[in-house]
Chain A
Amino acid sequence: MRVQTMSETAATSTEIDILFWVGCAGSFDARAQRVTKALSALLDHAGISFAILGNEEMCTGDPARRAGNEFIFQMLALQNINTLNMYGVKKIVTACPHCFNTLKNEYPELGGNYEVVHHTQLLLELLGSGKIKVENGTFMGKKITYHDSCYIGRINGIYEVPRLLLEKLDVDLVEMKRCKSNGLCCGAGGAQMFKEDEPGDKRINIERAEEALATNATIVAANCPFCITMITDGMKAKDKQDEVMVMDISEMILQGVKK
């Protein structure tokens, strides 16, 4: 499989169904790259023609805006919108809830109007239409818990889509004490990912990892690259990294598809 960039598709006048917005984590973070590759494989498997912006993509500006740096946010947002509009992009999929939120809710006011879907939404659609079929029982009956990311869950109200995906994998879903609209943050949002914690009794990701461990699940399913990093770190701090895996739902679907 070869993932195409928008400039390549434009050069060959290839029509694409959807733009895959990879994001900084998905592009550079080794763990998140695995999710990027899994999602690319799934899109390819489903016969979706997609492209990425590649080197023309920039951070959406979310962490800058939430840190208070509106200047840098607008700088990046306006450049991204310029690029997206230049290619006439209509539909975007992303595996990052922060990118999703900014593209969907904040770019329209700056002149960027696109149909934006989170990868869990697109995957559910592809499973529903039969373009992707879960063909093995890798996760059947496995005890799995799901961590709602704030930017997909509480902020954009998407609680059921990821759970329906897990249902398709026939997992034994065990909810954490705080879930759905009461879900506990992993501790990364609001640009916390990029700084040390303020003094306190505990790190937020450890609190969340403990809550996940209390379910006795062997896999924590997530939908956000930052949540994955945070909860994985939490598991390491509890010395449970070998017993509990933190996975993006797309990675689980891909494993379920393979024969």
Chain B
Amino acid sequence: MQQLLFILLSSFTFLVAYRQFKKIYHNITLGKSEKMTHDPVKRWSNVLLVAFGQQKMFKNWIPAIFHLFIYIAFLFTQIELLEILIDGIFGVHRFFAPILSGFYTLIISTIEILSFLALIATIVFLNRRNLLKVPRLVKSELNGWPRLDANIILIAEIFLVTGIFTMNGADTLLQSIDAIHYPDTGRMAISSWLGPTLFGGLETDTLILLERSGWWMHLLVVFGFIIYLPYSKHLHIFLAFPNVYYSKLTSRGKMENMPEIMNEVKTMLGMEAENSTTSGAEIPEFGANDVFDLSWVNILNAYTCTECGRCSAVCPANLTGKKLSPRKIMMDIRDRATEVGINLASGDMKFAKTNNNPDIKTLTSVNYNDGKSLFDYISREELHACTTCNACVEACPVMIDPLEPILKMRRYEILTESAGPPDWTPMFTAMENGGCVWQMTDEREKWRQEI
């Protein structure tokens, strides 16, 4: 009975999760393709140091240590989860215990100690968010779902740890009652005393019920988490790894070149253009006003963001009260990609720009037009406030680059819309006409006569 329920439930979980993750993959690939595979050695070393090794987390020791507890506990608990899967499918109990014997005790004890540390970390984090109100964790862009999301996961973590200790604690007592069904696990670091302390003297039936409740609680939290992940900032537990791998390796100081403009500029300057292919009838669009114009890496960045706000806490614009928040930029890109993904999946032709062409019968990312863009999420005021100081890029523990999409949107505003802050117009004019950021009447080399 339990076995059947388990198999049904796990199949359901993995099916739902597969469908959800496929959607996210699809949303990420709405962005332009960009090859990010050169120098695999450097990329793998980043994955090892920054993703696995959490190197950039340690710029700030307190949250880094507590996050490390949860992270390592998460990694180790996967061994236990594997056992739970085997036990669940084959209807056995603690499959690994007799096989691994003493080593099993070590593994379970390690998991117990880590789970305890993770529990402490969870309480510290709930405290930081809800009582201490660490500034970056209570900013306005977190109002509503993001704040709830963070708390839900922390509370789920408490349930998970409770499940583990109930399961192991009851098991310790059951081993001395029914050694055949409950194989010897050795002395588990915490449960060997926590079990007798909490459950000592209880009826065998109660203990069996407790053990099963703990087991199922653990499992249900895990399955719930897997289904919940795609709707949550906690996607970083998976995406942090590819995100770090595909992060930019070129100098931070180098903005991506726009070869599509080069020919026009060269023609204008009377230089030889390489190949004049600018004969298209359509007015070209430059920069980004929607997720389709961003790189897929920008969107991967957005789904990887766990809304920790280290970027916004160091952003000079944000910390002097301007609207710009690099974290909000990433959240907005993610939310827009999700919205576009849902609309595209609906296939509803009201989202297609057909120009009355009867041949267009299906909605695709090419004809997609819902009348909205990234500018409905991100205001111009936010974009204009960026000093390109790269503090956000430096701060992100998982190597997200919030600056690149900001600059791509600035390009759209200036090049495609010919808009932008009016203050910049005289600067552009001076640069174009006089080759100087200011409109000057003096000669550029005049200063040398004054030495």
- Residue ranges of A at the interface with B (Cβ–Cβ < 8 Å): 1-3, 5, 22, 24-28, 33, 36-37, 40-41, 52, 54-55, 57-59, 61, 63-72, 74-76, 78-79, 82, 101-102, 104-106, 109-110, 150-151, 154-156, 178, 181-182, 184-185, 187-204, 207
Closest beta carbon of chain B to A116's beta carbon, Å: 11
CB pair B287–A59 under 8 Å, yes or no, is no
Q: Give me 15 other A-B pairs in contact (C-beta within 8 A), A54-B445, A78-B269 excluded.
A: A24-B438, A54-B448, A58-B431, A58-B435, A64-B427, A69-B428, A70-B411, A154-B252, A154-B390, A155-B252, A181-B394, A182-B394, A194-B427, A195-B384, A198-B385
A152 to B304 CA separation, bound complex (whole angstroms): 29
| B218 CB-CB contact with A under 8 Å | no
A57-B323 in contact (CB<8A): no
A22, chain B: closest CB distance, angstroms: 8
Q: CA A178 – CA B415 in complex, angstroms?
A: 36
Q: Are A74 and B436 in contact (CB under 8 A)?
A: no
Q: Is A105 a contact of B320 with CB atoms below 8 Å?
A: no
Name which residue of chain A comes closest to B382, CB basis.
Answer: A198
Contact of B387 among A25, A28, A156, A185 (CB under 8 A): A185
**Are A67 and B424 within 8 A (Cβ)?**
yes
Count: A-B pairs, CB below 8 Å: 211
For B379, the closest partner residue in chain A by CB is: A198
Shortest C-beta distance, A141 to chain B (Å), equals 31
**Chain A: which residue is nearest B321 at the CB level?**
A201
Interchain CB contact under 8 A, B322 and A72: no
Contacts of B435 in A (CB 8 A): 57-59, 76, 79
A5 CB contacts on chain B under 8 angstroms: 445
Contact (Cβ within 8 A) B253 A78: no
A37 engages B447 (CB within 8 Å): yes
24 example contacts (A-B, Cβ-Cβ < 8 A) are as follows: A27-B445, A28-B436, A37-B451, A67-B427, A68-B411, A69-B424, A71-B261, A71-B265, A72-B431, A74-B261, A78-B271, A151-B253, A154-B389, A154-B391, A155-B251, A182-B314, A184-B316, A187-B387, A190-B388, A192-B385, A198-B381, A199-B323, A200-B320, A204-B317
B428 — which chain A residues lie within 8 A by C-beta? 64, 67, 69, 72
Check B437–A59 contact: CB distance below 8 A.
Answer: yes
Which chain A positions have C-beta within 8 A of B447? 22, 26-27, 33, 36-37
Closest CB in chain B relative to A94 CB, distance in Å: 13
| Interface membership of B386, Cβ < 8 A | yes
Q: How far is the CB of B72 from chain A (nearest CB, A)?
A: 26
B334 an interface residue at 8 Å Cβ cutoff?
no
Q: Are B432 and A75 in contact (CB under 8 A)?
A: yes
Give Cα A33 to B448, complex, Å.
9
Q: List chain A residues, Cβ under 8 A from B438.
A: 24, 28
Which residues of B line the A interface, CB within 8 A?
Answer: 59, 251-255, 257-258, 261-262, 264-266, 268-269, 271, 286-287, 314, 316-317, 319-324, 381, 384-391, 394, 407, 409-415, 420-421, 423-424, 426-428, 431-432, 435-438, 440, 442-448, 450-451
A136 to chain B, nearest CB (A): 22
Chain A residues in 8 Å Cβ range of B321: 199-202
Which of B251, B265, B447 has most chain A Cβ within 10 Å? B447
- Once the chains bind, are A198 and B322 in contact (CB under 8 Å)? yes
From the candidates A63, A66, A156, A192, name the one contacting B255 in the complex (CB within 8 A).
Answer: A66
Residues from chain A with a CB closer than 8 A to the CB of B387 are: 150, 185, 187-190, 192, 204
Tell me, in angstroms, the Cα distance from A28 to B450 when the chains sit together: 12
- Docked Cα-Cα span, A55 to B448, in Å, equals 11
A52 touches B448 (CB 8 A): yes
| Cα separation A72 to B266 with both chains bound (whole Å) | 12
Residue of A nearest to B269 (CB): A78
Central interface residue in A5, A154, A178, A191, by most chain B CB within 10 Å: A191
Residues of B within 8 A of A25 (CB): 437
CA distance A185 to B394 in the complex (A): 13
Of the candidates B262, B446, B448, the one whose C-beta lies within 8 Å of that of A74 is B262
The answer on a CB contact under 8 Å between B286 and A203 is no
Given A27-B445, A36-B447, A181-B394, verify A67-B410 contact (CB < 8 Å): yes
Question: How far, in whole Å, are A44 and B268 apart by their CA atoms in the complex?
Answer: 40
Q: A69-B428, A106-B254, A203-B320 are in contact. Are A74 and B265 (CB under 8 A)?
A: yes
Q: A69-B414, A200-B320 are in contact. Are A24 and B254 (CB under 8 A)?
A: no
Residues of B within 8 A of A192 (CB): 385, 387
Among the listed B257, B266, B320, which residue makes an inter-chain contact with A204, where contact means beta carbons less than 8 Å apart? B320
Contact B253 A105 (CB under 8 A): yes
Which of B266, B317, B451 has a CB less than 8 Å from the CB of A78?
A: B266
> Would you call B269 and A191 a contact (CB within 8 A)?
no
B440 touches A28 (CB 8 A): yes
Whether the pair A194, B415 counts as a contact (CB closer than 8 A) is no
Q: Which among B253, B320, B411 has the highest number of chain A CB atoms within 10 Å?
A: B253
